[in-house]
């Protein structure tokens, strides 16, 4: 079973609730929320208030919050109390990562680790035992609508070969055409922004890809 996580970064900013509802009506159960700080990545997005609003509007969805930010420790509590079910931090930050996982778990959420295209899987091998989710970036993080970098998919197989059997998610440029390749490499969650939100038939994409 493959899970599809629509990335609400691709929603119309004036109609975020409407566009998320379209994805939920199309069968999505997980909402991917990108938090960007203009330091770790070259863009800015939302804060805990957005997570809180989505939690309120979509109480039964899993909120998969992708923290593309330096110093995430400062905000772990705010995001989880706002309703995040899963918090993914980046391996490229200069903080005590295991202690952040500990805090995430102590607040009852799942912890994830993500790597940018230039970071090797060997950098996160030491975290495998602490996380429920690994997120492989298949574009340089910061913007939706980019082209998937196929070499990044090899990292999925590497992680499966290392024995990682938790949620393995891939994020960036995933569409109905390249999703199968990602799943063949070991992904069991596909984050999709542009390809889903721009589609006339997101229900078909979600149904087809869930069955891969």
Considering only 82, 100, 171, 189, the residue that binds Zn ion (CB under 5 A) is 171
Which of the choices Zn ion, ligand DX5, none does residue 172 contact, using the CB cut-off of 5 to 8 A by kind? ligand DX5
Q: Point out the residue whose Cβ comes nearest to ligand DX5.
A: 193
Does position 145 interact with ligand DX5 (CB under 6 A)? The reply is yes
Query: Is 139 one of the binding residues for ligand DX5 (CB under 6 A)?
Result: yes
∠ CA 6-155-45, rounded to 5°? 35
Q: Which of 85, 161, 171, 208 is catalytic?
A: 171
Burial 138-148 (b: 16+ CB within 10 A, else e): bbebbbbeeeb
Rounded-to-integer distance, Cα 200 and Cα 195, Å: 10
Q: Whose CA is closest to 136, among 102, 91, 197?
A: 91
Backbone angles phi, psi at 150, to 5 degrees: -60, -30
Cβ atoms of 137 and 153 within 8 Å: the answer is no
Segment near ligand DX5 (CB under 6 A), from 4-12, 82-90, 119-127, 158-166? 4-12
34 is catalytic: yes
- Total number of residues that touch ligand DX5 (CB under 6 A): 22
Does 116 participate in binding Zn ion (rule CB under 5 A)? no
**Contact call for residue 194 and ligand DX5 (CB under 6 A):** yes
174 binds ligand DX5 (CB under 6 A): yes
- The answer to whether residue 199 forms part of the interface with ligand DX5 (CB under 6 A) is no
- Binning the chain into helix, strand and coil, the percentages to the nearest 5 are 40, 20, 40
Q: DSSP state, 5? A: E
112 binds ligand DX5 (CB under 6 A): no
CA distance linking residue 48 with residue 33, whole number of Å: 10
Which residues lie near ligand DX5 (CB under 6 A)? Answer: 7, 9-10, 32, 34, 66, 139, 141-146, 171-174, 191-195
Please give the residue ranges that form the binding site for Zn ion (CB under 5 A).
34, 66, 171
Tell me the catalytic residues. Answer: 34, 171
């Amino acid at each position: 079973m493959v899970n599809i996580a629509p990335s609400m970064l691709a929603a119309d900013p004036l109609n975020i609730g409407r566009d998320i509802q379209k994805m939920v009506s199309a069968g999505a159960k997980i909402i991917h929320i990108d938090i960007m700080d203009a330091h770790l990545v070259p863009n800015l997005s939302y804060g805990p208030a957005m997570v809180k609003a989505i939690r309120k509007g979509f109480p039964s969805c899993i909120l998969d919050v992708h923290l593309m930010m330096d110093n995430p420790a400062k905000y772990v509590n705010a995001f989880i109390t706002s309703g995040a079910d899963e918090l993914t931090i980046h391996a490229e930050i200069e903080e005590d990562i295991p202690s952040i996982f500990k805090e995430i778990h102590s607040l009852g959420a799942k912890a994830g680790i993500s790597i940018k295209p230039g970071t090797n899987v060997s950098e996160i091998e030491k975290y495998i035992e602490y996380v429920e989710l690994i997120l492989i970036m298949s574009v340089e993080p910061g913007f939706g609508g980019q082209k998937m970098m196929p070499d990044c998919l090899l990292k999925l197989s590497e992680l499966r070969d290392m024995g990682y059997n938790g949620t393995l998610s891939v994020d960036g440029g995933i569409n109905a055409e390249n999703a199968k390749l990602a799943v063949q490499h070991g992904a069991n969650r596909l984050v999709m922004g542009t390809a889903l939100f721009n589609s006339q038939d997101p229900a078909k994409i979600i149904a087809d890809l869930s069955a891969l």
